[in-house]
Amino acid sequence: MRRQADVIVVDWGASFLRAYLCFDNGGELEVIEQVLGPGAAKVSQQFEAALNSVIGHWSAQYGALPVLMSGHIGSSLGWHETPYISCPVPPLEVTKELFEFESNGHSIFVVPGVSCEEPDGHADVMRGEETHVLGWLTMDDSHRRGKHLLCLPGTHTKWVLVEEGEIKVFKTAITGELFDLLCHHSVLIQQQQSEIDIRAFEQGAKLTLESELGQFVHGLFSVRTLQVQGKLDADHAKSYLSGLLIGSDVRAALMAPQWRIDELASISLIGSHPLCELFSQTLKMKGITVHSTQEKETCLRGFSAIYRKVFKSAA
């Protein structure tokens, strides 16, 4: 292990906490060690204790390093609520509204969220995804020119329109949370099988991709009826349900009036490999070109940009 560390960065969402012990390599953060912990919605408001249980051994070895955090932890349901910055906005603007406080000797900086409101009054918010979008923008000069549609699959999937380096507008779908609720609190799923069956997934995705959105709720019950009729194995029901939900999510995004999909050369996915694969497969079923980036890379690149702005710009 490297002898010196400079900062701890924490991507603390509703479902998971991902903490990275990093050193400064010429302004780019390099990971020494990483730890996974419970999401902000799962620690019963015991945020300080939860953080200490994850990074305490780093504190003992390296001292009270500064901590950069983003995600659900800065929401009204999190540790300290940070403001929302309104679209359109370059993601690096979040550094102007960082919330700073002390915990167990650590100086902690929480990244604010981003909000958008459309002329019809529809509003949306994000926390954490702005850091990933910032990281994606730093990956290539072409990302900061023209229009791009980004999809960040997860508990709450975000579809983000980026234009000339700014977040213009975005939409949220509770695809992941709905999947979890239906798997554990409905009659649809009896077998908690975890391996994806791609044929069952594509069967579900095809139904919602090609159906009217108004049939979505009726389509969900097909998870049950197909099992009753012996047309869907119980072991494959979760895969079929996943296809239904992701297919509906993708179809709604492709029809969204906030952007014209025919004006976009491709869609960029940012997330975990398994989820990106499922969204990629579904988008390709509609003839969409897809580029995928792992969330760890965009996370660290985003935090690197914030770190440089906060700790290096005045040096």
- The Cα–Cα gap between 236 and 97 comes to 46
Catalogue the long-range contacts made by 99-104 (C-beta closer than 8 Å, 24 or more residues apart). 99/74, 103/48, 103/51, 103/67, 104/48, 104/52, 104/59, 104/64
Q: Is 7-142+296-312's fold the same as 172-294's?
A: yes
Provide the CATH number for the domain formed by 172-294 in this structure: 3.30.420.310
Higher pLDDT, 122 or 84: 84
- For the stretch 147-164, pLDDT in tens is 999 999 999 999 999 999
For the entire predicted model, the pTM comes to 0.94
Q: Is the pLDDT of residue 213 over 80?
A: no
Rounded CA gap, 10 and 70, in Å?
A: 7
The number of CA neighbours under 13 Å toward the Cβ of 194 is 1
Quick one: average pLDDT of 9-35?
96
pLDDT band of residue 168 (cuts 50, 70, 90) is very high
pLDDT at 230: 96
Domain spans of the chain? 7-142+296-312, 172-294
Which band of pLDDT confidence, cut at 50, 70 and 90, is reported for residue 312?
Answer: confident
pLDDT band at 146 (very low <50, low <70, confident <90, very high): very high
Burial of 312 (0-12, 13-18, 19+ CB in 10 A): exposed
CATH 1.10.10.10 given to domain 7-142+296-312: no
Whether the Cβ atoms of residue 9 and residue 308 lie closer than 8 Å to each other? no
Q: Tell me what percent of the residues of the chain surpass a pLDDT of 70.
A: 98
Region 272-290 average pLDDT: 97
